[in-house]
Structure 1
Amino acid sequence: MRRKLYGYGGGALLLLGASVLLALSIGSAGFPPAKVWSILLHQLAPGGAEPPWTALEEAIIVQVRLSRVVLAVLVGACLALAGAGFQGVLRNPLADPYTLGVASGSSIGAAFLILFGLQTFIGMYSIPIVAFGTGVLTLLAVFWLARTQGRLGVETLILSGVVVQAFLSAFVSYMVSLSQGVVNEILFWLMGSLSKRNWGHVSMLVPFVAIGLPVLLYYARALNLFVIGERPAAHLGVRVERTKLIVLLASTLLTAAAVSVSGVIGFVGLVVPHVIRLMVGPDYRLIVPLSAIGGGIYVLWADTLARTLLSPKEIQLGIVTAFIGAPFFGYLLKRRKASI
C-alpha cells in the first residue's frame, strides 16, 4: 500500500505542480512558463540582479493569479475530501455534498449573513461558522427524511438530498428577491466563483483543510471496513456511530469552508473520488489523500477554463463544474441501475 501511495501520490503532486505553473501562464496577459517560474523563484529567494520583468508583471503573477490558483486548489481539495467522506460512510458513489444538499444548506447561511450585512459579526470566520451550522442542519434534515423504520436506504437518501437541495435553492432565490444592493453578492454563492478572491481567503481556508484532511486520513481504515457492512465492521472493532458522526461532521466542515469562499460548486465531490477509486481501487488510505490532490487539479483547470474560455468575460465556476459533473452523475445513475 505504501508503495502505491508514494507512486500515485508522487505522480499526482507532479501533475498538480505542472498544472499550477500552466494555470499561472494562461490568461489575458499571457506569460511564458519560464518567466512565471523565474518570478516564483525570485519571490522565494529575492535579491541579486535587477529582474527582467516589470513590477506590474510580478504583481499579476503573485497577487492576482497565484492567490486564485492556490485558492482553487484548496477549494477543490475541500470538496473532493468531503465527497470521499460522504461516499465512504454511506457506501454510495452517488453521495457528495451537492447531491445531499449540504452545499446548498451551507450557502443558506452565507446568503443570510450577506442579506443582513452580518458577514463580519464575529470576525472573518463568521460565514464559515454559520455555513457549517446550516450545513449540519441540512444533513440532519436529509437523514430524517430518508430514514424508514430506523434504516437509511441509499436510493432514498439521494432522493431526499435532491428534495432538500431544491427547497433550499428556492429559499436562497427568495432571499435574492428580497435583497436590493446585495443581489450580485448572493448570486455569487448560487453560481460559484473565485473571482475577486485574495490571499486573505486563502489563509481563511487553510485551517479547515489542516483539520479535515488528518481526520479523514485517521478514519480511512475504518471506512475500508464499512464496505463489508456496519455490523461486521463493529465486530472488527470499529466504533461505527462515532466514526460516522466524526467523518460526516468533518466532511460538512470542509464543504462549509469551501462554500464560504467560493459559493456553491457542484459535483466536485462526486466526480473526483469516483475517478480516483477507478484508478487505484477501493482503499480509502489511498482515496483520501489522492482525492485532495485530484480535487485541487480538477477545480484549478475548471477555474482556468472559466476565466479564459470567453475572455475577457468570465464564466461562473459552478457552471463549468456542472457541465462536466451532471453528465457524469447521469452515467453513474445509469450504471447503478443496470447493476441492480
Structure 2
Amino acid sequence: MMLGVSIGAVGIPLDVVWSVVASHLVPGSVEVTWSAGRDNIVWEVRLPRIILGAIVGAILALVGAALQSVTRNQLADPHLLGISSGAALGAIIVLLHTGMFLGLVTVPLFAFAGALATTVLVVGVANLTNATNASRLVLTGVAISFIVTSLGSLGIFLGDPRAAHTVVFWMLGGLGLSQWAQLPYPLIALVAGGGYLMWNARYLNAMTLGDESATTLGIPAGRFRMVVFVVCALLTGAAVAFSGVISFVGLMIPHLVRMVVGGDYRRVLPLSALVGAIFLVLADMVARIVIPPQDVPLGVITGLVGGLFFILLMRRSQRLG
C-alpha cells in the first residue's frame, strides 16, 4: 500500500511517504522537510485512494468466495446474481436524475438500496417459481441481472448527455474520487459482513457439499443461503457505491486462493480478502502509470487480467483432464 502511494505520475520516495503519514498520525513526530504539494498528494489524494482499493478488493473477493459456496458454482461472483447491476442502477439514478440531494452519502445509499432491492427481487422470484435450489437460483439471478442492466442502460439513455461520461467512467470502475470522509462506510460493511461470513465458515464448507448434505449436518440450507445473499448485497452495495463496477475480482481471487490452500473456507475467506486487497491495490498502481496523468478505469485492468487468467485456467483444466 505504501508503494502504491509512492508510485504515480509524480513519484514520491518511500521515506517521504512514511514521514508524511507519521506526521499526520502523530503531529510533531517528524521534522517536515517536504513541500506542501507532496503532503497533499500523499495524504489527501493517494492514501485514501489506496485504502479504499484495499477495502473494495477484500469485499469483492469475500463476496465471490461466499457466493461460490452457497450456489455451488465456481463462476459465481457479485455480477452473477445481479447484485452489482442493482447497485449500478441506484447510482445511475442519482448521478443522472435526482442529483446529490443528500450530500456525499446519496450515491452510497442508492447503490446499497439498488443492490438490496435486486437481491430481494431475486429471492422473491425464486420463491415464487419454486427455484430455491442452487442451480435454479443462479438462473433466476442471471435473468434478473439482464433486466436490471437494461433498466440502467435506459436510465443512461434518458439522462443528461453532458453527465453521461461521468456515469460511464464510474461503471468501468475507479478509485479516483475517494475521500477520507467516505472510507468508514465500506470499512464498516467489510468488518460486519466479512465477520459474519468468517464466523460461519464451517457452514459454507457444508454448503459446498450440497443442500442435502448440509441439512444432514443440521444446517438450514435454504435459509442460510438467503442470509448469505443479503450479506453479499450489503457488501457489494458498499463497494460499488464508492468504486464503481469492478469485474473479475470476486470471480478470480477465490480460485487462486483455493489452488494454494485448498477448499476449507476457514482459510479461503481470510486469504481471499487479503489477496483481493493486494490485487486491487496493484491494479490501481498499473491504472495510474499506464497513461499518465490519466487514470485507466480499473474495470479495464481487472477485465484483461481476469480474462487471461481464465484462458490459462481452462488450458490447465483440459491438460489435467
Number of the residue aligned with 1:16:
none
CA shift digits 1:85-107 (9 cap, x unpaired): 11111122110002332211210
1:176 corresponds to which residue?
156
Cα separation, 2, equivalents of 1:82 and 1:30: 34
**TM-score computed with the length of structure 1 as normaliser:** 0.84
Partner of 1:10: none
- 2:275 alignment counterpart: 294
User: What TM-score results when the alignment is normalised by the length of structure 2?
Assistant: 0.88
- In 1, Cα distance between the equivalents of 2:4 and 2:30? 27
1:51 equivalenced with 2:52 (yes/no): no
The residue number in structure 2 matching 1:113 is: 94
Structure 1 residues 148 and 203: alpha-carbon distance in aligned structure 2, compared to 1, 3 A threshold: closer
CA gap of 1:196–1:189, structure 2 versus 1, over 3 A, is: closer
C-alpha change, 1:338 and 1:167, in structure 2 (3 Å) is farther
Letter of the structure 1 residue corresponding to residue 155 of structure 2:
M
For residues 247-291 of structure 1, the C-alpha deviation after alignment (integer angstroms, 9 at most, x for no partner) is 111111111111111111111100111111111111111111111
Is 1:77 the counterpart of 2:58 in the alignment? yes
> Structure 1 residues 292 and 235 mapped into 2: Cα distance closer, same or farther (>3 Å)?
same
Amino acid at match of 2:18: W
Letter of the 2:309 counterpart: F
Unaligned regions of 5+ residues in structure 2, if any?
A: none
Pick closer, same or farther for the CA change 1:125–1:226 going to 2, 3 Å.
Answer: same
Residues 193-243 of structure 1, C-alpha deviations (whole Å, 9 max, x = no match): 111221122122222112111111111110111122212222212222232
Aligned residue in 2 for 1:22:
3
Q: 1:168 to 1:147 in 2, by over 3 A?
A: same
Give 1:13's aligned residue.
none
1:34-68 per-residue CA deviation (whole Å, 9 max, x = no partner) reads 22122222333321563221222111111111010
1:65: which partner in 2? 46
Specify every segment of 5 or more residues in structure 1 that has no aligned partner in the other structure, as ranges: 1-19
Cα offset, 1:150, TM superposition: 4.2
Q: Counterparts of 2:315 and 2:182 in 1: how far apart (Å)?
A: 38
Aligned-residue offset at 1:302:
0.9
Kept in 2, the 8 Å contact 1:111–1:189? The answer is no
Question: Does the aligned pair in 1 maintain the 2:119–2:230 contact within 8 Å?
Answer: no
Q: CA deviation at 1:30?
A: 0.6
The 3-state SS of whatever aligns with 2:235 is: helix
Distance 1:150 1:202, change over 3 A: closer
Alignment of 1:186 with 2:186, yes or no, is no
Matched, 1:231 2:212: yes
Identical aligned residues as a percent: 36
Number of residue pairs matched? 319
Is residue 131 from structure 1 mapped to residue 111 from structure 2 by the alignment?
yes
The separation in 1 between residues aligned to 2:224 and 2:57, in whole angstroms, is 24
Q: Which amino acid aligns with 2:296?
A: I
Per-residue deviation at 1:147? 9.4
Per the alignment, residue 196 of structure 2 pairs with: 215
Q: Distance in 2 between matches of 1:62 and 1:170?
A: 39
Which secondary structure state, in structure 2, belongs to the residue aligned with residue 293 of structure 1? Answer: helix
1:163 positional shift: 4.8
Matches of 1:266 and 1:159, distance apart in 2: 19
Distance 1:131 1:337, change over 3 A: farther
- Give the Cα separation in 2 of the matches to 1:243 and 1:78: 19
Deviation at 1:124, TM superposition (A): 4.5
Match of 1:248 among 208, 215, 229: 229
Question: 2: CA distance between counterparts of 1:314 and 1:198?
Answer: 17
The 10-residue stretch of structure 1 (257-266 or 236-245) with the greater mean CA deviation from structure 2: 236-245
Q: Deviations over 1:95-125 (max 9, x none)?
A: 000233221121011111222224344x644
Q: Structure 1 counterpart of 2:116, which letter?
A: V
Q: Report how far residue 23 of structure 1 moved.
A: 0.7
